[in-house]
Amino acid sequence: MKHRFSFLLRPFSATMDIIFLDICFALAYRLKFGTTESLFEVPYVTLFWFINAAWLLILLLNKPYNFSRLTFTIQNLLVDLAKLIGLHIALVSVFWVFTKGGYSYSREQLLLTYVLFLCAGSLWRSVVLILLKVYRAMGYNTRRFVVVGYGPLSRSIQTFYQMYPEIGFKFYGYFDKMTPDNASSLRGDYSYLKDYIVRNEIDCVYCCLPYIDTEQLRDIMNFSEEAKYQVKLIVDFKGFLTKGVTVEYHDVQPVISMSTHYLDDLRVNLFKRTFDVFFSAGVLSLGAPLFMVIAVITKLSSKGPVFYSQERIGKWGKPFRIYKFRSMYPDAEQGGPALSAGNKDHRITPWGQFMRKTRLDEIPQFYNVLRGDMSVVGPRPERQYFINQIIEKSPEYKYLLMVKPGITSVGQIKFGYAENVEEMVQRLWYDLEYLQNVSFSTDVWLIFQTVRVMMQGRGK
């Protein structure tokens, strides 16, 4: 049975709010008057029953707690709580006006009630949200989805849910026309889709419009009523960033407006740059003794300079020199530009292998961050030689050049170092996903993930 517990979330939320509202009302009465003996006597018993009735009325009319998994965030929950409390205060105020002639209530007690309830409501929402996300990240309470239409755009959906397992979506495969090139990646073709949906109780079907035709889409939508699954469309914006997409209505005709306005958002850029400067300065100053030790070991472990410098391409295609602790022998690229072959690469020194696994070789790049060439979090900078090859295979790469490259990224954490251009293209989709979710919380999460990779020595 699908979502056998999901329907309990709303009544659970309503019950929790009613319980905490009553507790806060009684606690505020106790704090104001020093006792609760007269709480259930006139006039406060009348007010007690009214605040409960008013809250239930608001729930019936407003229908809160209605969040999708993507919008189920602490910010949305707290904003929703504040709106509910505001409406409730309005109703209680009206009640007070009509009963003012007969009853007298304490303003301090009511104010304290709402302050306590705001704190309690925020607390239980935060705890439940964290527990639910952890529960989903562990693989429980998941929604099953398939993607119809196979290609770079459809793979980005799978990448997104791999990045955020706490949302609780489990991937069940791709469906498309079978060809020799894609057969190994598909679960089946269109003829197998309906039976697969029914047998595996699929909750959501993502349809990629570039890869399926109108008749196939109509058939999937019609069958959704019978099989009870959601249909979601993935539209090919050719790499345009979704944070700049808005829908305007010209009479009844929807028009999609696309821009990359967030790239020029002064507040976003200023905040991110401020964080980069302070974080980088802190790392370089506090870690200076350790970095000196790394520099000495690098110098003594093999012949050659301590630091390695190379030209990379930054924001808007501007070249800059990147700095790292040297992890290869000095003549590593005497035959021309070449990517690392991982643990089997004879060009990497033994100490360099350790630095790469722990990402210690990347530390000098914090100097690049202070200079403004890079950011702490952003897509990995590449050489022009490889960028030209990547764009031939995946033109979407040029959108990574709209932002500053970074020391760490989703691609570095989820994929790691690439051994060839094909792997660089695969890593590209992780970094493109980051562009659609640029935020301070995402950056902090990626920094913590990077530290975890460093401590576990899982860099590759």
pLDDT band at 22; cut points 50, 70, 90 = very high
Q: Is residue 78 classed exposed, middle or buried when 0-12, 13-18 and 19+ CB atoms within 10 A define those classes?
A: middle
Using the 8-state DSSP alphabet, how is residue 348 labeled? B
Q: Is residue 213 classed exposed, middle or buried when 0-12, 13-18 and 19+ CB atoms within 10 A define those classes?
A: exposed
At residue 2, the pLDDT reads: 53
- With b meaning 16 or more CB within 10 Å and e meaning fewer, what string describes 365-398? bbebbeeebbbbbbbbbbeeebbebbeeebebbe
Q: Is residue 360 classed exposed, middle or buried when 0-12, 13-18 and 19+ CB atoms within 10 A define those classes?
A: buried
pLDDT band at 267; cut points 50, 70, 90 = low
At residue 261, the pLDDT reads: 46
- With b meaning 16 or more CB within 10 Å and e meaning fewer, what string describes 91-128? bbeebbeeeeeeeebeeebbebbbebbeebbeeebeee
At residue 15, the pLDDT reads: 92
d(CA 349, CA 327): 6
Lowest mean pLDDT of 46-50, 266-270, 409-413, 415-419, name the range.
266-270
pLDDT digit string, tens, across residues 56-84:
999 888 878 877 787 888 888 998 999 99
What's the mean per-residue pLDDT of the chain? 84
Q: How many residues does the chain have?
A: 460
From 157, 184, 175, 181, select the one nearest 219 (Cα to Cα): 175
At residue 5, the pLDDT reads: 62
Q: Give me the helices (H) in 73-151, please.
A: 74-99, 107-137
Position with higher pLDDT, 86 vs 250: 86
At residue 151, the pLDDT reads: 82
The pair of structure tokens assigned to 226 is: 């019978």
pLDDT digit string, tens, across residues 167-220:
889 999 999 988 888 888 898 888 899 999 999 999 999 998 778 888 888 899
pLDDT digit string, tens, across residues 105-155:
888 999 999 999 999 999 999 999 999 889 888 888 889 999 998 887 788
DSSP-assigned beta bridge partners for residue 310: 322
d(CA 158, CA 169): 9
Alpha-carbon distances of 353 from 224, 320, 328, 339, rounded to whole Å: 52, 25, 9, 15
At residue 199, the pLDDT reads: 92
pLDDT band at 164; cut points 50, 70, 90 = confident
pLDDT digit string, tens, across residues 231-244:
998 876 554 444 45
- Domain limits of the chain? 6-137, 143-236, 266-456
d(CA 94, CA 205): 48
Which superfamily, per CATH, for 143-236? NAD(P)-binding Rossmann-like Domain (3.40.50.720)
